[in-house]
Copies of this chain bind each other. A is one copy, B any other.
Amino acid sequence: MTIGRPREFDTDQALEAAMRQFWSKGYEATSLQNLLEVMDVSKSSFYETFGSKHELLEQCLALYTNTLIASLREELRQAKTGLSFIEKVLKGLIDEASTKGEKCGCLMVNVTNELAQRDKIIAKLVANGSKSLQGVFKEAVLRGQKEGNIPLNKTPDILSNFLVNNMVGLKTMVKGGADVKTIKDIIEVTMTALK
């Protein structure tokens, strides 16, 4: 057993709550008070466990990218074709656009726009995350090309960057309140670029 007084809160759960808060409100607009409330942690325990607000963000970013990438990899593994995976991921944004609730966008995109230029640590983290995301798309494109659904006239590297770019754009468009039809149209044009 661990020595000393046991934690009264769930670390993973607290981290996830913090992640959602940063995701929803951004870094600056999320106050320590906000975090303590949603994480259900006392201030002492907060600094003891997570170091600082900034370090917490780093951990949240890591959690976000890890779960996102893992989930995408799994989905790709289960997908019928590389192309259908790509289509499914893009079309996931239609649901997001249809939601009446809050549209949080993508934490990586949000953080990039808010902090990347003045915070090198965070910039590095999102750059890595973005590269991982591109990696998944690249794998999907490669598979699609092997399967004969995606033409060979463009490299997986180039096409995956293009896909990431459209994902990033769409996340922002949805957050900005673009209507569902617009999103659908963009996805369709994006998909035809793979044909």
Q: Which residues of A contact B (CB under 8 A)?
A: 24-26, 28-29, 102-105, 109-110, 112-114, 116-118, 123, 126-127, 130, 154, 157-159, 161-162, 164-170, 172-173, 175-178, 182, 185-186, 188-190, 192-193
Contacts and interface: CB of A to CB of B under 8 A. Distances in A.
Nearest to A110: B113
Nearest to A165: B169
Given A158-B185, A165-B186, A189-B162, A177 B127 contact: yes
Given A102-B117, A116-B175, 14 more contacts: A103-B117, A113-B172, A126-B176, A130-B178, A158-B188, A159-B189, A161-B185, A161-B186, A165-B166, A165-B170, A165-B173, A165-B186, A169-B172, A192-B193
Query: This chain: how many copies in the complex?
Result: 2
Secondary structure of the A contact surface, majority rule: helix
Contacts of A176: 112, 116, 123, 126-127, 130
A105 B168 CA distance: 13
* 5 A-B pairs with the lowest CB-CB distances in the bound complex, closest first: A169-B169, A28-B28, A165-B169, A162-B189, A168-B169
Contacts of A110: 113-114
A188 B159 CA distance: 10
Contacts of A130: 176, 178
16 contacts: A103-B117, A104-B117, A116-B175, A116-B176, A123-B176, A127-B177, A161-B185, A162-B186, A162-B189, A165-B170, A165-B173, A165-B186, A167-B169, A168-B172, A168-B173, A169-B169
Contact of A114 (B104, B114, B166): B114
Contacts of A26: 28, 113-114
A168 B103 CA distance: 17
Could you say which of A127, A165, A185 has the most chain B C-beta atoms within 10 Å of its C-beta? A165
